[in-house]
Every structure is written in C-alpha cells, then in structure tokens.
Amino acid sequence: MASAPFPPVAASAASVPPRLAPRHPFAAAAAARRPVLPLRSSAVVAANTLRCTHRRAVSPRSRRRAQGLGAASALAESVWGVGEGKGACLSCFPKSRRGRSGLARFAPCALPHASGLSFRSRLSGSKVRPSHILRAAGPDEPHVASPTWSDTSLDTSDMDHAISKEELEDVLNTPLPEHPKLIRGQLKNGLRYLILPNKVPANRFEAHMEVHVGSIDEEEDEQGIAHMIEHVAFLGSKKREKLLGTGARSNAYTDFHHTVFHIHSPTKTKEYGEDLLPSVLDALNEIAFHPKFSSSRVEKERRAILSELQMMNTIEYRVDCQLLQHLHSENKLSNRFPIGLEEQIHKWDPDKIRRFHERRYYPANATLYLVGEIDDIPRAVREIGAVFEHTHSENEGNLLPSSSPFGAMASLFAPKLPGGFAANLSGEKSPATDKIKPVKRERQAVRPPVEHKWSLPGVAQDAKPPAIFQHELIQSFSINMFCKIPVSKVQTYKDLRSVLMKRIFLSALHFRINTRYKSSNPPFTSVELDHSDSGREGCTVTTLTVTAEPQNWKSAIKVAVHEVRRLKEFGVTMGEMTRYMDALIKDSEQLAMMIDSVPSVDNLDFIMESDALGHTVMDQLQGHESLLAVAETVTLEEVNTVGAEVLEFISDFGKPNAPLPAAIVACVPRMVHVDGVGETEFEIYPEEITEAIKAGLEEPIYPEPELEVPKELITQLELDELKSQHKPSFVPLTKEENAVKVFDSETGIAQRRLSNGISVNYKITQNEARVGVMRLIVGGGRATEDSESKGSVIVGVRTLSEGGCVGNFSREQVELFCVNNLINCSLESNEEFIFMEFRFALRDNGMRAAFQLLHMVLEHNVWLEDAFDRATQLYLSYYRSIPKSLERSTAHKLMLAMLNHDERFVEPSPHSLQKLTLQSVKDAVMNQFVGGNMEVSIVGDFTEEEVESCVLDYLGTVRAASSPNTEERIEKISFRPFPSDVHFQEVYIKDTDERACAYIAGPAPNRWGFATEGNDLFNVIQRSDADEISEPVNLDLTGKRRIDVRSHPLFFGITLSLLAEIINSRLFTTVRDSMGLTYDVSFELNLFDKLDLGWYVIAVTSTPSKVHKAVDACKGVLRGLHSSRIVERELDRAKRTLLMKHEAETKTNAYWLGLLAHLQSSSVPRKDVSCIKELTTLYESATIEDLYLAYEHLKVDDSSLFACIGIAGAESGEDTNDEEPDMDLHGMAPMGGRGVSTMTRPTT
C-alpha cells in the first residue's frame, strides 16, 4: 500500500516550480535541495504535462517529507551512501531517503570543530570509558541514562601525545553513545515500544505499529496474504474511522519483512482539548491485533488489491522484480513480492486469512514507535500498558518477561495493572503468571529470515553468467552488477570510521565519472555506484548501475569498469580526501545545528531502520561529535584500502579468489531505433556482457591528476571594477511610490528593486540554522516558443545545464567550487518560467559564493555545441520511448486533443528538434534573462546587511537590458472547440500483461481568476454579488476574523484547492471503496500564474474490463456536486487538511521561497503580500457557497470534457492515431533504487 520507510521519491513534489504545487492556492511548492552538480536542469517538470505533482507513487509520507529536512537528510544521504532510495541508515543521523547517493546535498554548520571524543587527547595508559550521567529529571520525567563522555574521562592535558596503534584500536572499539532521549521498553506480553520526544511538528505525534510479518513469512499458497490482512485490518477498523474528524492522518504498507500501520495525529482534539494518544493507541491495537475479517470487507479489499496489482505492474515494477529475483535467487526474497499472486488472491476466504493472522500477529512479534510532542513520558508508558497489556493471541500461553526502560524508578509511575506489571518492572514474580504454562512466542531474531550467499573473497561458489531481461516496453539499456555481504552493524567508533572512509572513496568515484565524462559526449546516460544497507533484504548491497542508449552499451560498460579499476588501483588523491572529508563534516555540523528541528516522521523512520539493521541510534549532536572524533584518525592509505575492498567484485572481476558478483542483470529493449533503418531487433548475449566487462578492465589506467579548485569566481578586484562601472543601487519599487524598500512586519518579508530592473524579495528566518535558499524566476518559459522554435526553451535550458561552464571555469571547477562552498544548484523550465535555484551554507562566505555563481551564469554563461548535441539526443530518446509507456502515451494523446496539438505543453518532436540550432536555443533562453523580467527571492538565516550586500554586489552589477514584450510574443493558447472526434479517445499498447489507465481533463481558470481568451472571472463574480451587501472583513460569532473571500485575488486559488480535496475524497469513497473499479484515483488542478488558463485532471488506473465503467464513475462524481451537495463536514475536513499542511510547511525555507514567488512580477499583478499573510484566514472564511461559485467555472459538461483511455495487453488493438506521442523523463533514470516499486501502495 505504501512504500517501506525508504521511498524513492526524489522530492518531486517539492522540487517543481510554484505552479506545479498540488492543491495550493498560489506559488506554494518550493524547491527541495538539489544535486550538487550545478546547472542540472529538470525536464521532468516541463514534461509532466498532466500532473501538478507526482501522485501517490510510493507513500503518503514521501510527500510529507518532500520539502526536506535541510541537513538532516543531507548527511544521511551524502555521508552514509543512501543510494537511490535504499535505506542505508547508519547509526547517527535521521534520514529522508529521497535523493541520489553521493555528495548529493551539503548543508552548513556553525559549531566549532571540537569533539567530545578527541583521539589526540588520549594519554598513554589511560582508557576512555563512557560515563553514564543521569540527566536532571523533573517530577514527570524518568531518569534517563545519558551515555555522554564525562569531563573526567577525557584527559586533555597532553594534546600532542602520540598514541600507539594498540591504544587507538582500544579507543575505536569503544561503543557509540546511545540516543539520550530514546526510551525503550517491553510489556509483559512481549510488545516492544520506543518513545522519542520531538517538537517538530508542534502539537503532533507519529504512532507506528510495526508488525514483524511480511511477504517473506508466507507459504506457497499464501502469497500476498500479509498484504490482504493489512488492507482488511486497516480499512475495517471502526476506531480508526473515528479519528478522521480530529485532523489525524493514517495509512499502512506491507513489505518483505514487516507490515506497518501508522497514524499522524494532533496531540489533542481541537474542540475540547482531549488527549488523543489513548484513542490512537486503541485504534492501532484494533487494527493490528483485533481486526474483523467480515466477508464484505474481504471482498471489497480483494477487488482493491487486484486493481492495485494491475496498477503496480508497470515495466519499472517488472524490472525491479527481475533484479530481486536474480540478486536473491537462493532464497524466498526472489519470489515473495508483497503484492502477491493474482490467482491466489482470488481464492482466499476469511477463515484462511484469519488463520494467518492468528499465527503471526501477536504483541511479541510487534514494535510500537511513538515520536512527537510527548512531554509526559510516564503517562505515555501507562497509556501503552493500559491499551496493549491484555492483548495476546488465543493460542499464546504465557506473558513474556517485561523489561523496564527506567529500572528502579519504574515503581514511581507504573500503573498497578492485573498480571503483575508493576511487580515485573521491579523484577518480582507475579502469582498470576506463575500458573500459566510457558509457551514462548517471540519474533525471529533475524529479519527477514532468509539465508544469503555472500560475495566474499575466497568463498567457493559457481559464478553465475549475466542474466538478460528483454522486454518490448524497455527503451534504454541498463546493467546492474551486485555484490552482497552481511550488514556490518555500526555500534563502535571503528564501525563509524569505516563508513566515513567508504563514503569519501565512493564520493570521489561518483564525481569523477559524472563530471569528467559529462564534459564531453559520454557513451552512458548515467553511472551510479551505491553501497548501502537494506533492512528489507537483510544485507548490504553494492551496486554498479550503468544506463546507456542500446547502441552504446559496450562502451558504457567499459568506461564504468575502467574508472572503477583506476580508482581501486590508484585510490583517491589527498586533495579529494580533504575536499570530501571537509564537506561531510560540514554537513554533519549542520545536522547537529538542526537537532531540534527534525520532523518526527524522519526521526521515526531512522530509528525503525536502525533497529532492523542493528545499528546504534545516536542523536544528531552525538553523531556529529563521533564523526569528528573518527575523522581525526583517518589516513589516505586507509581510505584507499577500505574503499578498494568495496570495489573488488568489479575491479578484480574474473580473477581467482575475487569476490563473485551476487548477480549481473541487464535489462534491454527488444527493438531499437536505427537511423536510416527504423526499428531493428536488439540482440545481446551473456558472453558479450562478460567480454565487455573484461575489456574495460584491460584498458590502460593512469592516476588522477589534482584539479585546481577556484576559491572564488569573482575576485575582489573584479568586483570593485564591476561596481565602479555599474554603480548598483536600490530604486523605488514603483513609479507611483518613492519607497525603495517595503517591509511587512507581520510576515517579515522585505521587497527591493535594483537599478537594473531586477526585483528582490527576501525573508530572514531561523527555520534552518545558517542555511539559505535562493530562486531566480525568469518570465516567459516555453510559452514564448513559436511554431518555428518548438522545443527551443526546454532544449536550451538543458543545454546550459549540460555544459556547466561559466566564464573561464570548466564544469569540473564549477562543481568542485560548489562542493567546497556547500552549494546545490539547479536550472529548469516550465511553460511559464525559467527557474534557477540555490541552496547554500551561511558559513565561510557561502552566500557570497552562491551569488557569485548566479552572477556568472547571468553574465558569463557558456554555450557548447556538444552540450547542445547531448540535450537534443536526450529529448529525441525520450520521444521514442513514449509508445512504450501506457500512462505517458495516454496522457500525451489527451493533452494534444485538449490543447489543439500545442507542442508547448508536451515535448518537442523529432521534426521540431531537427530545426533547432545552438544559436536558436541560446537566443530563446537568454532573451528572457533581462532585468525587468527577473525576480530573485532569498530565504534563510542571514542578516539584512549580509543579504543586501550580496544583492548589490552580484545582482546589482548584472548588465541592465530593456525587457522584451514577451506577452505580445506568446502565441494564442486555446482549448479545442466542441464538437470534435477527439473528445474521447483510446490508446492501445501491446504488452505481455493486461493493464489500463485513463485520464479525464477539462478547462479551469488560472490561479488568479483568468480564463481562456483573457476573461476576468472576477467581473462575473461581482455581477452575481451586485445585490448582496457584505463587509470585506468582519468577525464571526466566535470572534474569529473573517474575510470576504470573493473579493480577494486568491478566491479561485483558495476555493479550487478546497474543491480538489473534497472531490478526491469522494472519488476514493465512490469509485474505489464502494464500486471497486480502481485502486488509485485522483483529482488534481494545474493552475497557471501567468497564462490565462488552467485545467483539472482525473487520473484513474483499472483493468481493461473495468476502465470504461471507472471513467463513467469518475465523471459522475465530478458532475455530482449539485445532486449530492457538499456538507459542512466535508468542507471542515478539507480546511483542516490544507491548513495543517500550510502550518507544517511554513517551518521550511523552501516553502517560503514558493510563497515569495511573483510578489513583484508584472505578469502576475494580483499577487501581493496579503496573499501570504491572509492565507489562513482565507481558508477559514471560505463557505460552501464560495466553493460552488468556483465550481461553476470548472468545465465538466460533455462539450468541454476530454477523456482518453489506455489499454495494454497481448490482445490489444492497434492504435491508429498518428499524432506524435508525449515524452518525459520518467523511466530514464532510476527512481528510488533496487526493488522499491515492489513495495505495496498507500491504502488511502
């Protein structure tokens, strides 16, 4: 139903431009942290023509985390090698597994580089011992052991004393400190619980019940039954349903090794202030241990799961299954995928499902996690005991011994419950339990309970030949080389040191391959090396993944293995080690700074995964101090030795006693396009793959030269000359007013305008300590493309990104400049705007470095012919892959029908790409980069003096240019008129398996009330309200401030976002839950800011036999708002959802970037600061009548509505439509890593 706690989402919803934010009334989506590689554009945004954001691709939590942790995820992913979504959590840092591995994100720090465990301070003969100091405990707080280092245990009198190797080894073997606030306990029935107080988000908590049973525990005739139980138990719970009106959100997912039910809840009810923890625990108790297996619920969920199975069965899912089947061919992980087998799902009756539940779902086989604003720990422990203490399965004979997390202090607050709970806490026997015949039921010590064949040196086993998975829906070539070893538990300083050295080593390889070869025309699309722990698989896996165009596959493999061998043989250079060590430490420092601002769900996921892997859990400060301590002991020789061991399965491939790859799997297309020939069968054989690997290893190798890294891109002398030449200054914001600065004290937003026309907005905030974010927005985007320049903007942006050079600096130098200054940068475009975004550290002049890079891009950008060739080839490849994607083909056909074949809203066709030149794409992009057409917003923990100095120095010295009249150059955009033969269409794709999907779309206003042909809908509203007299602002009966929503510029943004929430809820309850026609259906709005139009889209997945009924049912819900009117309960729930989201996201810098967007844009004249500071009041003031007024302008009649059904199957008819298909980036780059798509989808 949802992903396991390591979703593959790369912050998609958060990283899109403001227009693409789901259900937010204006520019609310904010860019999450970007990859370090500068100027890497994202064509996903522009290509995703139908969707406001990625739909529930993995987990509801992945969207909650989309805005990011700041440094919390940065260190976990950069230091600890969390690769493409795999859960490689180590021991000290919460992580949000969203992005790429390697030095994907860095964040700054402000703590001194001093460790609580400095190895240089060890004196001969003195051993370091952890001193467990009791923290001060208040009347309601138990004494918690704080495993920190006491002052007396650290003798710092002789800092220069050199310790011996034996002494160092002794210190390194010291256990890592445990998290001082993490409470662990166990009830006498065996239920384990962990509690962690956490203040973010305020007044909320996470409660997750992890039952240690998953698909790996199923027998041959039970494949998918754990997932079925998850559905029935979760959706059949009446106690969970009672929480729906409280603001709580809940969901569930099943994976190989566990099933998790989770509830995100307020601490108290809004109306009466009642504590919600008991109700949440009661709901989880019912869901996990006391479900009702009624025949009606089983049948309803059987239909839902069969729909989910077909929805999941994409080519990406099938590729993931193939990878897992070969990687784990020796055990059940290869054939126990959580979704199950269709033929078995059809057969199970309630009794069989109940019997599996009785065998596996019992308290001793479960762990409860509570993380959030839980101030009264003793009370929480009492609540856990009161709810779960008497829960045990019918055939469970005894109650297991209970251990207290508080030792002797337990008697001070433990409840006197039957069964001797209080007595057991103090170690005494209970008469009641003495009489019970002991029948011990415990969870398995090893999860998942499988045996692996390890890839270790000298282990005798037969080498497996490369496996080949060939399919007609695969577009590009990819190969994965796997190495599988036991998980090395990170429990000592020595373990942590080893991880740090591996991270440095692999970061160097990632940079070398993806920077050096990107400077030319590489034979590969991407090369990734991931080394990560996997709790769901119970092992550590190293994966070399190479993707390429099919015709280049041999060269791509040779390059990848050649670079691996070169790094293994020569190692990293001293400059590389110093550079990446410094970056990782700075990132760790920033994480420690954010110790009190990490969201509860991220802390919880980290703890859950750490528990599964056996790693020690530290808090962020402990983790940073421990990292500093081990960093002092790392040498270049050891880094290269440890790193070489990771790569041996590749670099020593074919040699005696070398570790054998666990599997080599190539996923390839059946047919490939050959210029001048057309579609040709693609042939490849296992021995060819082996030969290509060996050939790459035989290429001559040379050591890596040290690269000169610029300390600054603009010297002080150059800056002085620029300031003398341009004389930058601030000017009045408007001609009508003389104010050169506008500051809103309520929101803290300042607005400025430079003499060259560039507008500047900034907000000072301590949301993320010493971190800043910046976004440049340039008006125009793809809408400025005309019939002779289709694709010029999107290809131009990609070309600039591919080049990566500025001035006289090479791509490599620019990227290392970003690494050294902890700068993440991206460049992307959509239909309305071009965006350039930065995340930077506010230490060591990090903000000035980011502004220098922005100045250089604007003033000294470099356009390279080979970068243009790569960008063009990339889009050509995407185009040719469209017929192999059911969803993209269907979406494309709908878009072309609805928008009169306007290519600005899809991707450029080969015909359009052939007409482009380097000069034409450069002109298309740079003509938009003019002063009056640019707006820069900055948010962060800086001072007014710091930000305004940077603005004047580096933005004020950009050459002024008159703004072109882009409005006049935008060709007309219109919806296809009725009648036509394309209002309803179908797409057919041949596939080995049956699937179906559909999109339903129609016109909507833009965010600010403009419709096609430039019609201002506020004029319509004013006419309808002409006879009504209302005050613009007043108080309601409860004293709350109210706004006349209809007179506010955000009327349509507010009301349509509330409508979207209500329609989504109705689609779920009707089309999915009641009618059983789909597993996944959603309604989303695409509201433009600048263009005078918008549209809505309903996306539904189904089966070929049900998809037409599903489309009709969706139309019925969409049109049924008059016959089945909205009620106050629905509106209140929608308001709570959006307000909670807004409140939580205002704690992030990235969200504020979205709020600031277009504040001074002449093309979005209706947006001002009131749209930000009155947002909450606008939501609260909206009425049902307001929603219906906006609903009248959603075109849902037959003459306005467009629909397209896509059907895939072996017997599908031929699609005779000759219109050019859409293309996007989905499927080109791996999303989320090995096997992630095999995890089940969200329940709700």
Residue 1003 near residue 1093 (C-beta atoms within 8 A)? yes
Check whether the bond before 883 is cis (ω within 30° of 0).
no
Among the options 84, 210, 230, 389, which is catalytic?
230
pLDDT tens sequence across 814-857: 999 998 888 999 999 999 999 999 999 888 899 999 999 999 99
Contact 500, 627 (CB under 8 A): yes
What was the pLDDT predicted at 1239?
A: 63
For residue 602, what pLDDT is reported? 93
Instruction: Take residue 97 and report the two structure tokens written for it.
Output: 């597994």
| Higher-confidence position of 369 and 401 | 369
DSSP state at residue 751:
E
Highest-scoring range by mean pLDDT, 42-46, 100-104, 315-319: 315-319
**CA–CA dist 497, 505 (Å, integer):** 13
Res 651: pLDDT: 95
Instruction: Give 335-402 as a DSSP string.
Output: T--TT--HHHHTT--HHHHHHHHHHH-SGGGEEEEEEES---HHHHHHHHHHHHTT---TT-------
Q: For residue 695, what pLDDT is reported?
A: 96
Q: For the residues 460-488, what does the mean pLDDT come to?
A: 93
Sorted by sequence, the CB contacts under 8 Å of residue 287 that are 6+ apart come out as: 209, 233, 234, 237, 239, 240, 252, 261
Whether the predicted pLDDT of 86 surpasses 60? no
Per-residue b/e over 1176-1215, b at no fewer than 16 CB within 10 Å? Answer: bbbbebbeeebbebbbebbbbeeebbbbbbbbbbeebeeb
Which pLDDT band, with edges at 50, 70 and 90, does 1230 fall under?
Answer: very low
- Asked if pLDDT for residue 18 goes beyond 60, the answer is no
DSSP string, 659-675: PPPSEEEEEEESEEEET
Torsions phi, psi for 842 (to 5 deg): -100, 50
Category of 541 on φ-ψ map: left (φ > 0), alpha (ψ -120 to 50) or beta = beta
Cis peptide before 201 (omega within 30 of 0): yes
Please give the torsion angle defined by the CA atoms of residues 581, 585, 591 and 594, in that order, rounded to the nearest 10 degrees.
-150
Q: Under DSSP, is residue 151 helix (H, G, I), strand (E, B) or coil?
A: helix
Q: How far lies 867's CA from each of 548, 697, 789, 801, 855, in Å?
A: 17, 28, 18, 8, 21
Please name the amino acid found at residue 1103.
T
CB count, 10 Å around CB of 671? 16
Are the CB atoms for 939 and 70 separated by under 8 Å?
no
Distance CA 51, CA 1099 (A): 9
Task: List all residues 6 or more positions away from 23 whose beta carbon is below 8 Å from its beta carbon.
Answer: 52, 1057, 1060, 1061, 1084, 1085, 1138
Q: Which residues, other chains included, contact 460 with Cβ-Cβ below 8 Å and sequence gap of 6+?
A: none
For residues 956 and 935, what is the distance between their CA atoms, to the nearest angstrom? 12
Any catalytic annotation for residue 563? Answer: no
Q: What is the pLDDT of residues 1047-1071, one digit of tens each?
A: 999 999 999 999 999 999 999 999 9
**pLDDT value of residue 441:** 64
For 888, phi and psi rounded to 5 degrees?
A: -70, -40
141 is catalytic: no
Residues in the chain: 1244
- How far is 957 from 948, CA to CA, in rounded Å? 13
End-to-end alpha-carbon separation of the chain, Å?
8
The most confident of the ranges 92-101, 1198-1207, 1227-1236 is 1198-1207
pLDDT over 90 at 358, yes or no: yes
User: SS3 for 56?
Assistant: coil
Lowest-pLDDT range, 867-876, 898-907, 1231-1240?
A: 1231-1240
CA distance 518 to 1146: 37
* Predicted local distance difference test score (pLDDT) of residue 767: 87
User: What pLDDT, on a 0 to 100 scale, did the predictor assign at position 463?
Assistant: 86
pLDDT class of 459 with cuts at 50, 70, 90 = confident
The region of weakest confidence among 36-40, 345-349, 779-783, 1152-1156 is 36-40
Can you tell me the distance from the alpha carbon of 228 to that of 299, in angstroms, rounded to the nearest whole number?
A: 10
Q: Poorest-confidence range of 21-35, 859-873, 1227-1241?
A: 21-35
What is the mean predicted confidence (pLDDT) over 221-243?
96
- With a cut of 80, say whether residue 1232 has pLDDT above it: no
Whether residue 438 is preceded by a cis peptide bond, meaning omega within 30 degrees of 0, is: no
DSSP H or E segment with residue 718: helix 716-726
User: Between 396 and 666, where is the model more confident?
Assistant: 666
List all residues 6 or more positions away from 637 whose beta carbon is below 8 Å from its beta carbon.
Answer: none
What average pLDDT does this structure show over 1182-1194? 95
pLDDT score at 1034: 56
Q: pLDDT at residue 162 above 70? A: no
> Is residue 300 helix, strand or coil?
helix
Q: Is the dihedral of CA 549, 507, 620, 447 positive or negative?
A: positive
- Tens digits of residue pLDDT in 985-1000: 999 999 999 999 999 9
pLDDT tens readout for residues 1087-1122: 999 999 999 999 999 999 999 999 999 999 999 999
pLDDT of residue 410: 32
> What b/e readout covers 549-582, taking b as 16+ CB neighbours within 10 angstroms?
bbebbbbbbbbbbbbbbbbbeebbbebbbebbbb
Residue range 474-498: mean pLDDT, rounded: 96
| Average pLDDT score, the chain | 81
Give the integer Cα–Cα distance in Å for 20 and 11.
13
Q: What are phi and psi of 1079, to 5 degrees?
A: -100, -35
Of residues 61 and 1101, the one with the higher pLDDT is 1101
What's the confidence (pLDDT) of residue 1009?
A: 94
Q: How many beta carbons lie within 10 A of that of residue 1059, not counting itself?
A: 27
710-713-717-720 Cα dihedral, nearest 10 degrees: -160
pLDDT tens string 885-944:
999 999 999 999 999 999 999 989 999 999 999 999 999 999 999 988 999 999 999 999
**pLDDT tens per residue across span 265-305:** 999 988 888 999 999 999 999 999 999 999 999 999 999 99
Instruction: Give residue-wise pLDDT tens across range 746-768.
Output: 999 999 999 999 999 999 998 88
Banded model confidence at residue 969, pLDDT cuts 50, 70, 90: confident
Higher pLDDT, 1215 or 1135: 1135
- How large is the average pLDDT for residues 963-970? 56
Closest among 1187, 1180, 1183, 1157 to 1169, alpha carbons compared: 1157
> From CA 147, how far away is CA 129, in angstroms rounded?
10
647, 568 contact by CB (below 8 A):
yes
DSSP string for 81-103: ---TT-----SS------S-SSS
pLDDT recorded at residue 653 = 94
Q: How far apart are CA 995 and CA 1222, in angstroms?
A: 19
pLDDT at site 633: 94
**Among residues 301, 316, 528, 589, which one is catalytic?**
301
Alpha carbons 30 and 24: distance in angstroms, whole number: 11
pLDDT at 523 over 60: yes
Nearest to 251 by CA among 264, 242, 232, 238: 264
